[in-house]
Amino acid sequence: MLARRSILSIPALQFLLGQTQKLEMFGDAEAYDRFMGRWSRLMAPLLVDFTGVPDTGRVLDVGSGTGSLAFAIGDRKPASHVVGIDPSKEYVASANRKNPLPARISFQVGDAQKLPFPDASFQACLSLLVFNFIPDPAKALRELRRVTKPGGTISAATWDYGDGMRMLRVFWDAAASLDSSAERLDERHMPLCHAGDLSQLWKQGGLEEVDERPLDITMRFTSFADYWDAFLLGQGPAGAYVRSLNRDQLQQLRGEVKRRLPQSEGEGPFVLPARAWSVRGTVPTRA
């Protein structure tokens, strides 16, 4: 059993208390891409297809991070114009640097709760793995509704942090088996990550034709190191937890995680599934 620690200073706990804006959980674009961006790149085309993004017109990527979703929209809809917005200056700079289609895709700094766009200025708004990080998701949805044309679509997806996201499930189950205080930090306590959560928000937000479904992907890891090393980069609640451990605790956790993974017998490649809950809804055409 790991020694009990004071966890009040751990950024992940602040996150669970709803103080995400004060955190620096997001900011290192390279580390983000290594930890989570590889998953976003697989998930993004599924959300674009589920949304039914129109072939032409302006599309907003809310919480665009390092750009996975905006790039997927630009790729699949060659006549679209995509704007990505994110509060992280570093992510926005990284997305602009990597942008393969600068004539049609742009990124800017901003907050979903106070969008710097006129009413009805987008055909569709999409948001990938963001809504559970927004302090006031209902306010953000009102903003998305305001900037989307009547009849346009608003969609979002968040990880199923319960059983669906195996990469994190294995990590948090291993951490909680060694350290009872880790259980409180487990991302399965996050808002908007269970079946029905997003569709309830969408219906309460006055959207019509609300449809929710799971989006499933699998990730191939080339080795245990390919899985584990990403947790050492300080990204998200799991990365913040790892950074709070001393060397011995970290070694214990590493061993316990390894024991629980499908490749525990060896060092070879393995595959983990991941599920996100996605929702789409239509902006009413009448006032």
Ligand X SMILES: C[S@@+](CC[C@H](N)C(=O)[O-])C[C@H]1O[C@@H](n2cnc3c(N)ncnc32)[C@H](O)[C@@H]1O
Q: Given the complex with ligand X, which of 178 and 232 has the nearer CB atom?
A: 232
Q: Given the complex with ligand X, which of 224 and 241 has the nearer CB atom?
A: 241
> Which residue has the closest beta carbon to ligand X?
65
Q: Given the complex with ligand X, which of 20 and 121 has the nearer CB atom?
A: 20
Q: Given the complex with ligand X, which of 24 and 229 has the nearer CB atom?
A: 24
Compute the C-alpha angle 205/208/213, nearest 5°. Answer: 90
Q: Residue 142 CB, nearest distance to ligand X (Å)? A: 13
270-282 and 148-159: which strand pairing?
A: antiparallel
Q: Residue 259 CB, nearest distance to ligand X (Å)? A: 28
Residue whose token pair is 């399965």: 188
Q: Residue 36 CB, nearest distance to ligand X (Å)? A: 5
Given CA atoms 80, 60, 28, 223 in this order, what sign does their dihedral have?
A: negative
Q: Given the complex with ligand X, which of 2 and 230 has the nearer CB atom?
A: 230
Q: Given the complex with ligand X, which of 127 and 244 has the nearer CB atom?
A: 127
Instruction: List contacts with ligand X (CB under 6 A).
Output: 20, 26, 36-37, 40, 62-66, 68-69, 86-88, 91, 111-113, 128-130, 133-134
Q: Residue 83 CB, nearest distance to ligand X (Å)? A: 13
Q: Residue 78 CB, nearest distance to ligand X (Å)? A: 21
Q: Residue 255 CB, nearest distance to ligand X (Å)? A: 28
Q: Given the complex with ligand X, which of 111 and 160 has the nearer CB atom?
A: 111
Q: Given the complex with ligand X, which of 37 and 281 has the nearer CB atom?
A: 37
Q: Residue 49 CB, nearest distance to ligand X (Å)? A: 15
Amino acid at 197: D
Residue whose token pair is 């599934």: 273
Q: Residue 161 CB, nearest distance to ligand X (Å)? A: 12
Structure-token pair, residue 254 = 């590493």
- CA end-to-end span of the chain: 59
